[in-house]
Structure formats: structure tokens, C-alpha cells
Structure 1
């Protein structure tokens, strides 16, 4: 062998070694995600048993266990990679090769995007990436990854040429439970009657087939959450398509249909960002998301992934879509979010995009006594608790990089002054080390001033219902001022300011002392609450106050809260359906006390 040939062999050996190491690391990462996915699905499959046994406390524990799995599996994969790669674990050139090997490895998979997110999490842990690093990460800001998915999700299909009740009966029979229906044929009849009534305007084509429905499709997978199981699909007419969601409940007498949803607004509420995540054992996720987008075309794709429990993928999709939007709106500036300035959080938004970014301030103004760690614990509590349709889902982000010139000067000055522990300037960028991102809603205090009188009264009354719903799920907002609540696009009141949130069971509800009006002092503990004081500081006009007191006057009494604490101590959890009363079907027909 010549000296030139020997040199060639020596130079190629390190390259071959690096390629082999990269390939081994890629396999390890793929296996790490596969392990996570298997464990995620194993927990999810328990939902059917929990529903059948009406073991809703264990179901909530499953939700928390499933949330923790991602970080557990990321840590395990990180440890394996450290052992495999050793001193080269943070070698960028090696990770460029790992990225290429990993891309080839997952190319045949439908759920490539979930694998890529898992991979990105690992690189960010190793490199502490600020913003994104396109050389070693999967970015894809310029495409919609689900657009390439053409694989049809598994589903049941029903042609409707005969009697609709018989088709509905077959639909219910196709989903087996270890609990029998109390009246399955009656349930099927209720579904058929409801569909015929709701879709009457679709019309039939001839006398032989007066039914306006031509076909029904339902996903094979049953969706579970809290006390309900959902059959999710869509209805086809001659020229129209509508969503179809059938809600099932399990009661003493057995299973029954509780609601039939055919309007997008109602289905969107079930899949809303103020609800806990579904337990739905989907073999693959991307094709299910594509299907759900046909039902809810205006719902952001990130919220669909998140609703299915794929919170990390939801974050990836939210990041991808927002920064694609930001790049297309380079002349627009971030500004303070509407509403009163918070003592704990600095909040900003891009006016053309429905998100807010919330940063914890370095110091809190008096009388706030909490510290950063306590505020973060509140957000963790919300993340792991039943949000009952009244708490906004907040996603936690680290090291976001924004163009500095897209911040309004007043906002930039405030962030640098009051959030210096979190925000820094890096060249032409502003780097945010930690923030929470939420859907933007209109602050209730602004809404009631801007809305028509009737709409304002409805919002105030629903604010009272929001307090009830939160309390029934053992959540006390802490600060009940209107500025801490918002109104969604559908007019629903929700709570979004979590720094004083706590459990109802932790509170001490007290009567105001009789000598309070004389100005004499009395001791107030950190968990003492005086419900009688609530209405004094809400800033309502006379009509709003009267409507609130008429509908929800009891929530301003100590007795109501103490009785609620007793029910919570006995393990009695309120049932809060995620849909309005008008979509429920035939409840009285199934009541064991009907006619008494």
C-alpha cells in the first residue's frame, strides 16, 4: 500500500466511525420515542375500564401519570445517549449526522412529526438552544406537515338507505363496553330523532328516502374524558357535511346517550382549550388530526394535537405556525396585551395573532407576596388539574427568540426593566428564557363596558357560573376581579390569572365580623376568604349586579362554600358537561325518578 492510500484509509476511518455512531444514536432516539408512545397508549387504554367502573378519581390520576411520561422517557433517552456518545455527546458535527440518519429512519412512519419533536427535545437539552438551530433540529416553518398525510384514519362507515333508528342501533352495537345500555334501542331512537330534527333543513331527495342523511362515519377510537365517552365522526347529506359527536354516560342503570352534537361550535367546545386532554387510544395520531380538521376547520392544528394529549406536539405546531405568521408580518409590532397591567406578569401580544405571552416579573408589587417558584407551581397545578372548561391551557416555553425591532418601544423598555431575569438582548434579537403562552381572550372588565347591555349581563352571569364550576372542581381563583377573567369568542367566561389560585379545600371561608363597619381590625390569615366582600369590588352597573345576584347570589355566602367543602371532602365531584343543555337528548326518559 502506498503512503497516499494509507492516508486515505486513515482519513476515512473517522468518517465511517462517526456515521456508525450517528446511526446507533438515531436508532436509540427512535426506540426512545417508541417506548414513550407505547407507555402513553398503555395508560390511555385504561380509560375504557375507568369509564366502565365509573372510577373517575383513578382516571384523573392516569391523566397526571401520562403527562409525566414524556419527561421520564426523554431523561432515559438522554442518559443512554450520554453513555453511547460519551465526550462527543455535544459535538455539533456528529448531531448533523444523527439528524440525517434519524430522518431516514422515520421516513416510512406516518407520525414522523411526533418523532421529530422528541428528537428536537433531546437536542435542546444537550445544546441549550436559543430559538432554533436548523442544522441539528427539524424546523419546517414553511410547510404544514399534516398536508402530506393521505392515510385514512380507521373508521366505521354506515350507509343510510333504510330506517335511521336501525342504523343508529348498529352504530351503538359496534362499540362494545363491559356495561350494558339501560335502553339501547331507546338511545338509538333518540339519536335518530335528534338528527332528523336538527338536519331537517337538509331535506330528502325522494319519498322513498325522506331521510336527509346519506351516510355516517365514526372513528374506530372512542374518546374518553372525565365522566363521558364520545363517539366522534361526521354526517353526510346529499350536498352537506356536518360533525357528529355522541356523548355517552355510565349511570346506575347502565349506559345511555346523553348528548348529540352536530354543530361545529358545540364540537369545538368539547375539543376546547379550556378542557382537560382526551384519553383516546389512536394507533396513529396525524391521520386522526387530519380527520378532526374536517370537523373543525377553524381550530388551530396545535390545539387538536394538544386535545389528544400530545401536548409537546401541540407546542411544536403552535411555535411553527406562530413564527411562520411572524415572518410574514415583519412590519407589525408586539404590544402590551389589552387589560390592566399585572403586578406579577408582563403580558404582550401580536395584534394580528390570537396568542398572549406571559412573563413572570422579577419583583411583584405590593400586596403580592408570592415568589417566582410559587407562581410556576400554580401553573403546574392548572396543567395537571381538571380545567372544567373554565381555565385556559397555558403552554410553557423556553428560550424563544424574537426580532428586537418588532417590539413597541414602551413594551421593550418594560420587559428589560421588570423581567431582566428572563429577558435579554442578543444582537438583533430579544431572547425570552421562560414564558407561558395562552390563547388571547377579551378581559371581562373591558368586555362588560364595550358590549351591548344584554351581552354584558350574559357575560356577568356566566362569570358567576364560572366561579361555581371552578369551585366544584376544587379550584378557588383567589382574585375574583373581572380583570382576571376573559370572554371567549363564544361569550364564555374563563379564568386566566393563576398567581393567587388555590384549592377550595385549602381555604378558610369566614363571616365578616360584626364590628367591621366600625373600622376595628381583626386578624386575617393567608387562606382566609370573606365571600360577602366579593360583589363590592367587581365594578358592575346596577343591572349587571342584580342579574348576578339573582342567578348566583349564594356564591357570596359563607354557607355555600362550607357546604361545598364538605361535599369535596366526601369525594363528591360535580358533573360539568362540556356542552350546552340544548344538545342533551331525552334525559327525562332515562331518569330513574321520572314521574315521581
Structure 2
């Protein structure tokens, strides 16, 4: 057998091993996801969060296992480019009839990039993200249920809906739930005219996240349709319908980048993505993949769409992102595209005292937390290359001088070893300067609500300054600077000591010992950096934030295994 034949046979075995490696991952992903139904039925909220963390880590574990298999097959030839050219060709042929081929390609690319990271990117060895077929081309219909709605007995259709989705827990009162959902649909869509709701179409797959199960689909009128999301809760006494969402803005928030990932056991991912885009036509496809738990595919789609736009805007430069420069991160953006790129600086200005690894650990922690709609998803990208000429001179100078550990610059390219990519939000400190009194008050109160929501889910932001928060296009405050973030349960919340004498009272510095984890809520005011009137309003409406006893009570709840519920929708969407 000639060396060429040996390489061909080896390449086929390696291609098959990569395909099998992805299918092992896909099966493991499905198995973990399938647990969500039982967790919901048995109210195992803490275990469900452990499942979420396990599923996030599954991809890297499967990549490591597959890499070990490839090394055993190829031996010393594992890094030979000629061999990988053949592996690429044979792998391509294995995917020709698969609906979710883009997911297989992303798995392959992860292996190739980790193997060749120090050698750059080779378009003949990898599937270039710009060449991965976008999921818009998928036409395979996703499984769904369709219901006709009677003008005279609309609740009958909702009764059939609730009956078709089987759970191991009964409804407290199924007819009341059906009537409440029906009335809400009729009220929300009354502007469609007489008999507004003609039909309901729902995905066969139930979506689970945190403490809720969601029936996801569309509601049809005579000439139009709208999203239809029915949220179910299990309150210990049985199931009940908790909320109905029909406005795209509310559904976009439910599927937002500040939320944890859904557990939805989809047989094919791409066709579900296409369906969800019909509900949210303005939502980037990468964010839909990501919120479905397919974070790696989301990264691929984000790369593809960004760099396609980047190439089309050939004369636009990368510049510093608006906002107060951070002491830990350098942040840049392309003004015409809503992403920011964050690089860890080589050295941190006082009083920042953490290491580079600790910053990376904070971002990894956020990846595994229940983000409750208040922590912006941050995806790590490694070994990204940009043309040097596309950087504004001031930005390039800063990266060379302050991010040398992350950046290699030559005349042609800037290679970034590690950056975190986030959706670009308007910094809260700038937003507050731009709004009228009503907008400023609403933003300040939602900022306080964001801190409350995070705290109730065992997240302490650390640095509360408005510059570390952003505001979405819907006016919602989110936190996006994680270098001081920690768990509420890891802090020591103390009362501010009573001064012993006048000298203590007038001292600019604490006259008592302060430990590294000590926090003094009564002193939060100056660290919030809000205008005086807004700080007064926050104290009035969110006085608990300044009460050490409230924080200590939260810690006790966490220690007792009690996890407060934070609904992912406004109170007005909840059913009576």
C-alpha cells in the first residue's frame, strides 16, 4: 500500500472519528437537555442549574476526547497539513446530506483551530466561517401543533393546547388556565378587529429555563400573525399558566443576550432557528443559536455576519468604544455594527488588584451563572486577525502599549490572542446625560432593579458605577463589566460601625479593620454615582439595597437552599 493510500485511509478514519465525536456531543447535549422536563415537574431548581453548567462544559469535554482519538489514529502525523487537506475533503463528503451540517462544521473547526492555533488559519484545512452555509437556507419544516380557534368558544382551543403537552404533574385548574390564556390573547390582539384570534401554532418542543416551561409559537389573525409564548409554572400544588407574551419586544427580551440558555430538546436545530426568526425577524441569527445553548455555533454565525459586514465597510475603522475607559479592559468597536471587543490590559491601575487569570475566571463564572436578564453574554474569541490599516491610530497605539500580552502587530495584521465579544449597549452613565427627567428616573430605578435581580440570584456586581452598566434599546439596564463580580454568598455584609469619637467621625479613611470580602451596603450611595435626585429615588424605592440585614437574609436563604424566583417578564404580562 502506497503512502498516498495510507494517508487516504487514515484521512477517512479521522473524518469519521470527527463526525462520530460531534454525534457523541449532540447525543450528550440532548440527554442533558431532556432532563429539563423532569426537573420542572419535580421542582428541582438547583439541580437544573447544575445541568445547565454541565451542558455548557460538555462541548469542550467532547472536543478533548475527540482530539485524543485523532492523536491515537494519526500519531506523529497529527499536525501534517497534507493529511488534513484529505481529512477536510472526506469530512465534507460525509456532511452532504445532513440538515444541521453547519453544526458539524463548527465542531470540526474547533478541533482544527486548537490544533493549528500557533500556525494561524488555513482556509483549505478549515471551513471558513464566511463560507459556512447560513441557516437561512434551511427549508425543512419544524415539528409543530396547529389549532383552529372558534370565535364563540376560544378557550376550547387553549384547552386542547394544554392537553397536548403532557407533564407528570396535573394542572391546578386546567379550564381556568385555558380561559385566562384565551382572554389575554383576545385582549392583547383586540386591535386586530372582530374575532382577532383565528389560529394558534406552537412548536412541538417545550422550552425550559430557570423555573418555567414555555410553549413557543405564533398566533394568527385573519391577515397577520404575532408571537405567542405561554409560560407555565409548577408552584408545588400543580401546573398553571403564568403569563402570555404576544409582543415582539417582550419575546425578544425572553430570548435576549442577557438571559441564560434554554433547554429545548430539538431534533434539528437549524429549522427551529428559522422558525424563531419568523417571530423575531430583527434578532441576529447568532443570538438565536446561542440562546438555544448552541454557543459555539452562535460564535460561528456572529463571526460570519460581522466579518461579512466588516469587508463590505472597507473604509470604516475600528475605534475606541464610547464610554469611560476601563482600568481592566480596553474596548473597541466598529461604529456601524453593534458589537464591542474587550481585551484584558497588561497592567491594571490602582485600586484594581486582581490578576489576568482572575479576570478570565470572572468571565468564565458569568458563562455558568443564571444571568436573570441582567448580565450580558460575553463570548471569548481566540486568535482573531484584523488588517492593521483598519485600526484608528489612537486605538492601535493603546493596544500596542497596554495590551501587548494579547496582541501581535505587524504591518499587515493585528492578531488578538483573546478577546471577549459582547453586544454593544449604550453605557448607562452616557444614557443618563442624554435623557429627559422621565427617562433618567426610569433608567435609575431599573438600574437599582438590576442590582436587586442579580442579588436575588446570588450575584454581586462589585463595582456599581453606572459606567459598568448598559441600556438596551428597550430601556433595560444590564451589567457588563465583570472583573469585580462575585457571589453574594462569598461576601461579608457589615453594618457601618458607629464612630467612637469625633476624630473617627471626621476621618476620610476607615478607622476600623476592613477585610478583603467586607461590603458595607449603607455606604453604597457614593459608589452608585447617580445624580442626587435619582439617588434619593433609588433610596426611596429600593431601600433594601442599603440595608446590610437584607443582604445577610439573602445569604441565609441561599445557605438554606431557597432560591428566589425572578420572572423574566413584567408583572402586567402575568395572568390573574
Report the secondary structure of 2:542's partner residue. helix
Task: Look up the match of 2:461.
Answer: 477
Match of 2:437 among 422, 431, 453: 453
CA contact (8 A) 1:131 1:400 kept: no
Is 1:229–2:213 an aligned residue pair?
yes
Task: Look up the match of 2:188.
Answer: 198
Task: Look up the match of 1:567.
Answer: 557
Structure 1 residues 144 and 544: alpha-carbon distance in aligned structure 2, compared to 1, 3 A threshold:
farther
Aligned partners of 1:472 and 1:130: how far apart in 2?
46
Give a deviation string over 1:190-226, Cα, whole Å, max 9, x none. 111111111111123xxxxxx2222211000000001
> What are the within-5 Å matches in structure 2 for residues 148-163 of structure 1?
148-161=137-150, 163=153
Is 1:83–2:67 an aligned residue pair?
no
Structure 1 residues 500 and 53: alpha-carbon distance in aligned structure 2, compared to 1, 3 A threshold:
same
> What are the within-5 Å matches in structure 2 for residues 15-26 of structure 1?
15-26=4-15
> What are the within-5 Å matches in structure 2 for residues 175-190 of structure 1?
175-190=165-180
Task: Look up the match of 1:550.
Answer: 540
- Farther-moved stretch of structure 1 (156-165 vs 479-488): 156-165
> What are the within-5 Å matches in structure 2 for residues 509-548 of structure 1?
509-515=493-499, 516-519=504-507, 521-548=511-538
| TM-score, length-scaled by structure 2 | 0.97
Is 1:100–2:89 an aligned residue pair?
yes
Task: Look up the match of 2:98.
Answer: 109
Aligned partners of 2:206 and 2:435: how far apart in 1?
40
- Farther-moved stretch of structure 1 (533-542 vs 251-260): 533-542
Q: Name structure 2 gaps, 5 residues minimum.
A: none
| CA RMSD, Structure 1 to Structure 2 (Å) | 1.4
Is 1:54–2:38 an aligned residue pair?
no
Q: How far 1:475 moved relative to its partner?
A: 0.8
CA contact (8 A) 1:356 1:439 kept: yes
- Farther-moved stretch of structure 1 (126-135 vs 66-75): 126-135
Q: How far 1:142 moved relative to its partner?
A: 5.7
> What are the within-5 Å matches in structure 2 for residues 135-150 of structure 1?
135-141=124-130, 145-150=134-139
CA contact (8 A) 2:226 2:279 kept: yes
Report the secondary structure of 1:141's partner residue. helix
Task: Look up the match of 1:381.
Answer: 365
Aligned partners of 2:134 and 2:226: how far apart in 1?
25
Task: Look up the match of 2:115.
Answer: 126
Give a deviation string over 1:214-240, Cα, whole Å, max 9, x none. 221100000000100000000121111
Give a deviation string over 1:546-579, Cα, whole Å, max 9, x none. 2211111221121221122122211111111111
Aligned partners of 2:91 and 2:65: how far apart in 1?
18
> What are the within-5 Å matches in structure 2 for residues 109-508 of structure 1?
109-128=98-117, 132-141=121-130, 145-161=134-150, 163-204=153-194, 211-508=195-492
Q: How far 1:132 moved relative to its partner?
A: 3.9
Q: How far 1:241 moved relative to its partner?
A: 1.1
Is 1:40–2:29 an aligned residue pair?
yes
Q: Which protein is bigger by CA-based radius of gyration? A: 1
Q: How far 1:177 moved relative to its partner?
A: 0.2
Aligned partners of 2:392 and 2:454: how far apart in 1?
36
CA contact (8 A) 2:258 2:375 kept: yes
Aligned partners of 2:84 and 2:449: how far apart in 1?
52
Aligned partners of 1:373 and 1:140: how far apart in 2?
29
Aligned partners of 2:389 and 2:411: how far apart in 1?
11
CA contact (8 A) 2:100 2:268 kept: yes
Task: Look up the match of 2:567.
Answer: 577
Report the secondary structure of 2:330's partner residue. strand
Aligned partners of 2:82 and 2:148: how far apart in 1?
56
CA contact (8 A) 2:231 2:244 kept: yes
Report the secondary structure of 2:198's partner residue. strand
- Farther-moved stretch of structure 1 (540-549 vs 395-404): 540-549
CA contact (8 A) 2:43 2:236 kept: no
Q: How far 1:131 moved relative to its partner?
A: 6.2
CA contact (8 A) 1:131 1:401 kept: no
Report the secondary structure of 2:40's partner residue. helix
